[in-house]
Structures are given as structure tokens and as C-alpha cells.
């Protein structure tokens, strides 16, 4: 059973085996059960027998992730069932996890094996192991870091979203400039309070001066409300609490839509793009399990599973959900945003000055 933990004030559950012998015995029993259940069936495409054997000897895997538990826990259950390796799942926000990693490093603690967030690229590179798992050859070239310290698990396209019961599709803005002409929408538009990636793509597309001026006119007109979390934005628009999201992750809008909420997205230039990423700790306490886990997350099986929640795969051999989703971005100005830690700090301050002035 996956052990769950949630950082920064939320309840954390963990259950660790005591002693190497107990871990080894439990792993062997779990693997024997998995093997018997599998019978003559082939192992998953990502499975490496020798690496799995070493991982079972390590006993467990610690995953730090921003993925909500409705997706994360059943996803890692697939890994557990195939390997017999216990997964300890710690879920928190990007900023909480990065802060936790920095604090642990200063204290000389090495607690995590795998980081699964949209901002692994912001972790100091010396904290991450350069990896080149077999499945990496199957994902888009753009979804592999030049130094191989992170790999793209899913494509995170961004776009505005709306509540389909409250707004007719024919009334949607044709460009971001159109938002500035709708003062009657004031207070009915939401955006994540940390969405500096959207702002960065916006300024890359329009140019710094023109982009800032346009954002100021939009903010003055519709007075967007900042919300904590992109998932919360998707749910708030789906519930009708807000009519629009000025920007949100397309996969989260689809997640809400697939769950029955009256919401959808539409596309306007620019379309920010970055990747949900996986990185392996350079000093992972369970290094074999960590490398196997990275190969698992970019595998056909894992990415097929994630499409159930609207995640857009980074593999050509996995059909998105819906199948024609990528057609929405054809011919659009897609801006890939991958910020360093220092650039991100500067952009966060700029975002706060614009959207949350004091």
C-alpha cells in the first residue's frame, strides 16, 4: 500500500519497515505475489529485471510530487504492483517541495528519491542526477533536459478557460486584448497567484514593454482574482464561482471537464508550454528504485494512465484524451517556458507587482 505524506501543515502518513531483514523479506513476498499473479504475461515495457531486483533490496521509494492524490496514488500503485517496492508519496506545492529540499540539504538529510513537479528544472542542478533511461528515447526531444537532469512526463499547455453554462462560446475573446474591453467581467476572472510562467510567455510574445502595457489594461478592466493553485482555479471555473480563467493548465481544465464540470478551454496567442517533469536525486537513498521510477513515469503505460485525467503525453505512441487535443494548438504561437531559479525569482516579483500590488 502506498504511504502518503503531505508537507507544510497537512497530515503526513508514513510507515517504514524496521530493519534491513524485514524490508527484504517483505519485498520478496510482494515480488513473489506479483510474479505469480502475472503468470506468463510480459513485463511492462519500462521494467528492468536487474534494476528491479536492486530496487527490491532497497525496500522502498520516496516520491516528492505536486500531483493531486486522486491521480498520484493510483499511478504509483502500478509501480508498486509491478516491482514489489513500497512507495512513500509526499504531496505538496512546488514552492513547499523546493523549500523542503533546500532545508533538507542544509541539514545534510537525503530523504527523497524522485521529484515529480512542473519545476524540477528550478532545482539546483547539483541536487539532481543526470539520467538517460531507456524510455527517454521515446519522448519528444524538447521534453528531455539538455543535461538529462529532468525528463518530461506530460506536456503542460496553457490557455484561458471558461464556464460553458455562464458564457457562450461565440462571446469568447478572440485575443487577450479583448479582455480589456469587458469591464463587466470585473471580479469574475481568476488566475493562479503564482502564474509567472503565463506572464513570461505573454511578454516573450508581445515584447516586454507592449506586453506589460497590455497586461495592465487587462488587469484594470477585469480585475482578476488570484487563487492559490491551478487545480483550484479549474474547479472554481467549473463550479461557476468564476466565469473565466485568464490562464490555466489545459490538462486541469480537461480534468474538470472529464469529471462532468461545465468548463472548457479555448486558444489564443500565446500558448505557454512547459512540462510536468521527473528528476532523480543525486544522493537518492534508494538509487535503483529512483532510476526505475524515472523510466516508469515516461513509459507508455504510465502516460496512457495519465491521459485518463487529461494529461497530454510527451510520447507519440500514446493517444491523448481527447484524441484531437493537439489540433487546438496547431498554427498557434506556442512559447516554451523553462526558467532558471534566478529568472523565476525575478518573474515572480514582476507578476506580484502586476497582479497583486500592495
> DSSP string spanning 121-135?
GGS-GGGEE----GG
Is the pLDDT confidence value at 219 over 60? yes
Percent of the chain with pLDDT over 90: 81
Alpha-carbon distance 158 to 88, whole Å?
A: 30
Residue 227 backbone phi and psi in degrees, to 5: -120, 150
DSSP secondary structure letter of residue 193: T
Q: What is the mean pLDDT of residues 34-62?
A: 81
| Gap between the Cα atoms of 77 and 332, Å rounded | 37
- Does residue 309 have a pLDDT over 50? yes
pLDDT value, residue 20: 38
Locate 249 and state its grid cell. Answer: 493548465
Judge whether residue 13 has pLDDT over 90: no
pLDDT band with cut points at 50, 70 and 90 for residue 39: very low
Report phi then psi at 44, rounded to 5: -60, 160
Contact 310, 257 (CB under 8 A): yes
Q: Cα(303)–Cα(84) distance, rounded to whole angstroms?
A: 20
pLDDT at residue 28 in the model: 45
Kindly give the pairing relationship between strand 60-65 and strand 151-163.
unpaired
146 DSSP assignment: T
Per-residue pLDDT at 35: 46
User: Residue 42's pLDDT is what?
Assistant: 75
The pTM of this model reads 0.80
Where helices occur in 260-299 by DSSP H, the ranges are 287-297
Q: For residue 285, is pLDDT > 60? A: yes
**Cα distances (Å, whole numbers) of residue 295 to 278, 282, 289:** 9, 16, 10
Is pLDDT at 235 greater than 70 in this prediction? yes
Higher pLDDT, 344 or 189: 189
Mean pLDDT taken over the chain: 90
Range list of H helices, the chain:
20-38, 49-58, 69-83, 94-106, 176-179, 196-206, 208-222, 230-239, 250-258, 287-297, 300-307, 341-355
> How much is the average pLDDT of 121-137?
95
Tell me the pLDDT band of 3, cut-offs 50, 70 and 90: low
For 253-282, what is each residue's pLDDT tens digit?
Answer: 999 999 999 999 999 999 999 999 999 999
CB atoms within 10 A of CB 115: 26
Per-residue confidence band for 145, with pLDDT thresholds at 50, 70 and 90: very high
Q: Is the pLDDT of residue 151 over 90?
A: yes
pLDDT confidence of 342, banded at 50, 70, 90?
confident
Q: What is the pLDDT of residue 43?
A: 85
Q: pLDDT tens-digit profile of 89-106? A: 999 988 899 999 999 999
Q: How confident is residue 222, by pLDDT bands cut at 50, 70 and 90? A: very high
Instruction: Give all domains of the chain, ordered by start, each with its CATH number.
Output: 3-155+274-313 (3.40.190.10), 157-273+328-355 (3.40.190.10)
Predicted pLDDT at 5: 64
The yes-or-no verdict on residue 15 having pLDDT over 50 is no
Section 69-92 average pLDDT: 97
| pLDDT for res 341 | 79
- d(Cα 118, Cα 105) in Å, to the nearest integer? 21
Between 209 and 34, the more confident residue is 209
Mean pLDDT of 225-244: 96
Predicted pLDDT of residue 208: 97
How confident is the model over 23-52, as a mean pLDDT? Answer: 63
Q: Which percentage of the chain shows pLDDT scores above 70?
A: 89
C-alpha closest to that of 173 among 247, 262, 231, 273: 247
Amino acid at each position: 500500500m502506498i504511504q502518503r505524506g503531505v508537507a507544510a501543515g497537512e497530515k503526513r502518513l508514513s510507515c517504514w519497515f524496521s530493519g534491513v531483514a524485514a524490508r527484504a523479506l517483505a519485498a520478496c513476498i510482494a515480488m513473489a505475489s506479483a510474479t505469480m499473479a502475472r503468470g506468463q504475461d510480459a513485463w511492462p515495457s519500462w521494467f528492468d529485471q536487474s534494476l528491479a531486483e536492486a530496487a527490491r533490496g532497497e525496500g522502498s521509494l520516496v516520491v516528492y510530487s505536486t500531483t493531486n492524490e486522486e491521480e498520484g496514488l493510483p499511478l504509483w500503485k502500478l509501480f508498486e504492483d509491478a516491482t514489489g517496492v513500497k512507495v512513500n508519496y509526499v504531496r505538496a506545492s512546488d514552492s513547499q517541495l523546493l523549500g523542503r529540499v533546500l532545508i533538507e540539504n542544509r541539514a545534510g538529510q537525503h530523504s527523497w528519491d524522485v521529484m515529480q513537479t512542473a519545476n524540477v528544472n528550478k532545482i539546483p542542478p547539483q541536487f539532481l542526477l543526470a539520467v538517460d533511461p531507456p524510455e527517454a528515447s521515446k519522448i519528444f526531444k524538447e521534453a528531455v533536459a539538455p543535461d538529462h537532469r529532468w525528463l518530461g512526463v506530460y506536456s503542460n499547455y496553457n490557455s484561458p478557460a471558461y464556464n460553458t453554462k455562464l458564457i457562450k462560446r461565440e462571446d469568447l475573446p478572440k485575443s487577450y486584448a479583448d479582455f480589456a474591453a469587458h469591464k463587466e467581467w470585473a471580479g469574475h476572472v481568476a488566475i493562479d497567484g503564482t502564474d509567472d510562467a503565463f506572464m513570461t510567455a505573454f511578454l516573450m510574445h508581445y515584447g516586454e514593454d507592449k506586453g506589460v502595457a497590455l497586461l495592465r489594461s487587462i488587469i484594470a478592466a477585469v480585475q482578476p482574482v488570484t487563487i492559490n493553485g491551478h487545480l483550484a482555479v479549474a474547479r472554481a471555473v467549473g463550479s461557476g464561482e468564476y466565469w473565466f480563467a485568464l490562464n490555466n493548465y489545459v490538462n486541469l481544465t480537461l480534468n474538470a471537464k472529464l469529471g462532468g464540470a461545465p468548463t472548457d478551454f479555448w486558444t489564443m496567442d500565446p500558448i505557454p508550454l512547459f512540462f510536468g517533469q521527473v528528476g532523480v536525486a543525486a544522493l537518492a537513498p534508494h538509487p535503483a528504485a529512483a532510476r526505475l521510477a524515472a523510466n516508469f513515469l515516461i513509459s507508455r503505460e504510465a502516460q496512457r494512465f495519465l491521459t485518463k485525467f487529461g494529461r497530454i503525453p510527451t510520447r507519440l505512441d500514446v493517444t491523448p484524451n481527447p484524441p484531437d487535443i493537439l489540433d487546438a494548438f496547431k498554427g498557434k504561437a506556442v512559447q516554451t517556458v523553462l526558467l532558471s531559479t534566478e529568472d523565476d525569482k525575478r518573474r515572480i516579483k514582476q507578476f506580484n507587482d502586476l497582479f497583486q500590488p500592495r
